[in-house]
Structure 1
């Protein structure tokens, strides 16, 4: 049985938050009003302080897609990936993922960010398996500006992972046994529920509250070399 290697994306493998960066990108392109920039910054601050409820956080960013179909958003998403996201994936993050791939581990990217925004990043990093927040699509094929199903955030990450594991048909031992062997890499206090479930939690450039938890629980702390890109992102 392969060992699970679970990775958070934003501020873990990526320097920055995908959805915050996406909203800023849309503001710069004139697709969101300038007033959205301040709301975006405030949501980012509250999220990292653990003050934003999962529903509030996810619905806020889901609203940025409203009124267009995935196909209509695709050129903008591709430009965002090339201009903003790719330069923010540090070599150290790519190497960390590759180390687990070389070990033969089962790699899973698990993110509170929407699947539509995450999947290109997952592809660049070579993740076959992605668990992410899902966006509602209307009968006309356009995004509703809302999420659907269980949010992949906080306790939802644990629930969604358990459901994903249970749905796999190659499981030969219990879910708890798999989780007891699993690695999970994250930067955020919001991921504490999943960090507490796995047998091998690793905190990566942790926020202040998670750093305290890591110290108290004697969890390993990993610092990735990060070079911030210039102006456009």
Structure 2
């Protein structure tokens, strides 16, 4: 059996779901639009530059979720999926996933974005396994704190290995391990799999992939 791991934002999606969720909340008037957008833009710029503190960002995002009643959050989530995510799920990304599923590969999405935002996206893609940043939940409510460690950078290795261990497996159990990602922030995990695929890569990852002879893939050229 092979293992196929996929980053989500700008890899399977041509957008950043985390950033777009913030923009969606602003459009809905659910948050102070000016203050939230300014802070969200700062974090997004840090992410692109590779300087983001993942805990600081996640607790900013999760703190916003904690202000809503669960029923309100569920309604916003459903609207976000319909208005923002589903129009950005492209046939070419579905086809890439389906090739691995049809081959009998184990498929997982491994994302630094929080589980609340990404769980319905993974479901929409037909992917059963999701490794994402987990919010702390107490009495059915998101508290605003991060539960455990971030799933960014080296954290993707930590969480992927822990997920496999729960099934009695390691990376070495698989004939081939693929990881598709757009970002140099994922170099730790890309560097330990047998088949790293720089997918819609940014400039830093493109240069790194070319130097090492990694596969390059552009999904969204159109």
Q: Could you say whether these structures have the same fold, taking a TM-score greater than 0.5 normalized by the shorter chain as the test?
A: yes
Q: Does the 8 A contact of 2:109 with 2:130 survive in 1? A: yes
Structure 1 gaps, min length 5: 228-233
| Cα distance in structure 1, aligned partners of 2:184 and 2:15 | 15
1:69-111 CA-to-partner distances (Å, cap 9, x unmatched) read 4443111100000100111122111110011111110011111
Q: Does the 8 A contact of 1:23 with 1:64 survive in 2? A: no
1:198 aligns with 2:193: yes
Distance apart, 1:15 and its partner CA: 1.2
- What is aligned with 2:173? 178
| Cα distance in structure 1, aligned partners of 2:41 and 2:158 | 29
Q: Does the 8 A contact of 1:180 with 1:198 survive in 2? A: no
Distance apart, 1:146 and its partner CA: 1.8
| Cα distance in structure 1, aligned partners of 2:16 and 2:132 | 14
- What is aligned with 2:92? 92
- What is aligned with 1:127? 127
Structure 2 gaps, min length 5: none
1:22-68 CA-to-partner distances (Å, cap 9, x unmatched) read 00000000011122112212211110110112212322222220133
- What is aligned with 1:230? none
Distance apart, 1:208 and its partner CA: 1.6
- What is aligned with 2:38? 38
Distance apart, 1:178 and its partner CA: 3.5
| Cα distance in structure 2, aligned partners of 1:41 and 1:61 | 12
| Cα distance in structure 1, aligned partners of 2:174 and 2:158 | 12
Q: Does the 8 A contact of 2:153 with 2:189 survive in 1? A: yes
| Cα distance in structure 2, aligned partners of 1:208 and 1:52 | 18
| Cα distance in structure 1, aligned partners of 2:171 and 2:48 | 29
With 56-65 and 180-189 compared, the bigger mean Cα shift is at 56-65
- What is aligned with 1:231? none
1:104-140 CA-to-partner distances (Å, cap 9, x unmatched) read 100111111111111111111100111110001233x
- What is aligned with 1:209? 204
Query: Cα RMSD (Å) of the superposition?
Result: 1.5
Secondary structure of the corresponding residue to residue 197 of structure 1: coil
Distance apart, 1:177 and its partner CA: 1.5
- What is aligned with 2:27? 28
